[in-house]
């Protein structure tokens, strides 16, 4: 039975991969609707034919890798259970240490290591394509350094999470999910608080913005929005990528406004001020805190559903999965697989909310800065630098896009421009 389940699991993944490839490369229509042709949202107005061709090719490959990687993770955890690797990891832990926490550490280490090894090919392919299309400028040693940092950060996080979670399961089989959710609230807030000053600097070098004239303009903009900001940070990303970005991260006293140096190098001051006004809108409209609240609500329902699905799966296929109890650490791959599935299923809803917030932020930014040429110029340069599709396929938008498409963002700015022109003529 276990062999049959494994065969059907692999077959299902292969079929899904072919369907995803067929959809992205043959079925999906990414052409610009007739009514937008010739507008400033039309790629033909700011991309040359070669750039447009490369953006379509790169986007299709990147989207295919996304749709392949998530179910690949599910398949990996499924096979780890079926072939008995989870049981082997547990045995190695018991053979090495007597203390429960140290046994858990051995188990999580081997699970993390096998998971990293299994997913490394897809990660490397993604990195290699980014280099080929001149998005990534990162050397292989630098990329591997980031990969290894990510491995150890994930290992420590998973070790703490799993150790606490399974301790709760042992204490309360019925309500462990609720207790875990209650503990996740301070843990989530703590991670968000320390991320800008502890985790992010592990990957990149941050420093106060060197262009003090631009910083003064940004802080003046922040003052008009009643944002208590004293510094703007820049991060050295040119050694890793040609893409552009800016963001607000952290909560409370550790909040930071961050600009990539690639953004500083490619955009004018006016375009940067529009981007900064957009990021400030998230602070003004409390999108960060709304996002935290939404995440906690979803995680409460997700943990409850996970507890039910784990118990059902073990009752139904415990023998094949080689797990006979929810509290047995051998069930960790089942837990991670279910959580990953639920996150993927819920992503359209969370992306929809995110796109709404980003639309609000765009509106706030253009009303604050008032310069549609700079705003549209910034989006055109972002598209060009990242080889992004202006009008991505519907399923890609639903599952991948936390921002509106560039077609939507630029066309809304053009609509705003028309609104202002009409107001001025009345």
Which is the catalytic residue, given 215, 261, 271, 279? 279
Cβ-based neighbour number of residue 58 at 10 Å: 20
Torsion-angle region of 247 (φ positive above 0: left; ψ -120 to 50: alpha; else: beta): beta
- Residue 308 is given by DSSP the state H
Cβ-based neighbour number of residue 140 at 10 Å: 11
- Rounded Cα gap, residues 254 and 201, in angstroms: 13
Which among 235, 232, 251 has a CA at the least distance from the CA of 243? Answer: 235
213 is catalytic: no
Collect contacts of 156-162 with beta carbons under 8 A, ≥24 apart: 158/108, 158/112, 159/104, 159/105, 159/108, 162/104, 162/108, 162/329, 162/332
- Spatial strand order of the sheet with 206-208 comes to 206-208, 233-235, 256-260, 246-249
Structure tokens at 381: 């340069």
Which is the catalytic residue, given 73, 362, 374, 408? 362
95 is catalytic: no
Helix (H, G, I), strand (E, B) or coil at 41: coil
- Cβ-Cβ contacts under 8 Å for 65 (sequence gap 6 or more): 122, 125, 126, 129
Which whole-number Å values give the CA distances from 157 to 136, 173, 188, 322, in the listed order? 27, 23, 12, 26
- Cβ-Cβ contacts under 8 Å for 78 (sequence gap 6 or more): 5, 6, 9, 333, 337
Which among 236, 257, 239 has a CA at the least distance from the CA of 248? Answer: 257
- Rounded Cα gap, residues 85 and 62, in angstroms: 31
Q: Is 99 annotated as a binding residue?
A: no
- Rounded Cα gap, residues 80 and 321, in angstroms: 9
Strand 246-249 vs strand 233-235: parallel, antiparallel, or unpaired? unpaired
Residues at the binding site for Zn(2+) are: 278, 282, 358
- Which residues are annotated binding-site positions? 278, 282, 358
- Which residues are marked as active site? 279, 362
């Amino acid at each position: 039975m276990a062999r049959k389940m494994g065969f059907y699991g692999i077959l299902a993944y292969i079929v899904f991969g072919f369907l995803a490839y067929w959809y992205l490369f043959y079925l999906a229509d990414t052409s610009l609707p007739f009514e937008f042709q010739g507008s400033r949202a039309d790629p033909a107005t700011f991309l040359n034919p070669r750039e447009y061709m490369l953006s379509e090719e790169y986007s299709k490959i990147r989207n295919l890798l996304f749709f392949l990687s998530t179910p690949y993770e599910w398949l990996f955890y499924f096979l780890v259970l079926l072939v008995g690797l989870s049981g082997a990891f547990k045995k190695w832990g018991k053979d090495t240490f007597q203390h429960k926490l140290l046994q858990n550490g051995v188990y999580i280490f081997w699970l993390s290591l096998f998971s990293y090894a299994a997913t490394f090919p897809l990660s490397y392919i993604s990195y290699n394509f980014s280099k080929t299309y001149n998005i990534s400028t990162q050397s292989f040693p630098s990329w591997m350094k980031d990969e290894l940092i990510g491995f150890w950060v994930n290992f420590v996080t998973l070790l703490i999470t799993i150790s606490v979670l399974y301790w709760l399961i042992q204490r309360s089989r019925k309500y462990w999910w609720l207790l875990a959710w209650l503990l996740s609230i301070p843990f989530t807030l703590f991670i968000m608080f320390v991320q800008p000053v502890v985790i992010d600097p592990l990957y990149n070098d941050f420093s106060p913005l060197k262009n003090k004239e631009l910083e003064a303009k940004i802080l003046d903009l922040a003052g008009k929005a009643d944002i208590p900001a004293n510094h703007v940070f820049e991060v050295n990303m040119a050694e890793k990528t040609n893409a552009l970005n800016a963001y607000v991260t952290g909560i409370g006293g550790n909040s930071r406004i961050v600009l990539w140096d690639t953004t500083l190098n490619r955009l004018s001051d006016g375009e940067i001020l529009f981007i900064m006004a957009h990021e400030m809108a998230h602070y003004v409209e409390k999108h960060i805190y709304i996002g935290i609240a939404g995440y906690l609500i979803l995680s409460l329902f997700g943990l409850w559903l996970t507890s039910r699905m784990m118990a059902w799966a073990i009752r139904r296929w415990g023998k094949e999965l080689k797990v006979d109890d929810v509290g047995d650490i051998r069930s960790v791959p089942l837990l991670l697989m279910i959580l990953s599935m639920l996150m993927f299923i819920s992503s359209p809803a969370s992306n929809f909310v995110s796109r709404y917030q980003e639309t609000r932020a765009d509106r706030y930014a253009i009303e604050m800065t008032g310069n549609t040429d700079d705003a549209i110029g910034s989006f055109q340069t972002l598209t060009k630098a990242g080889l992004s599709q202006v009008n991505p396929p519907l399923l890609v938008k639903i599952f991948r896009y936390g921002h509106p498409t560039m077609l939507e963002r630029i066309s809304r700015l053009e609509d705003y421009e028309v609104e202002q022109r009409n107001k001025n003529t009345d």
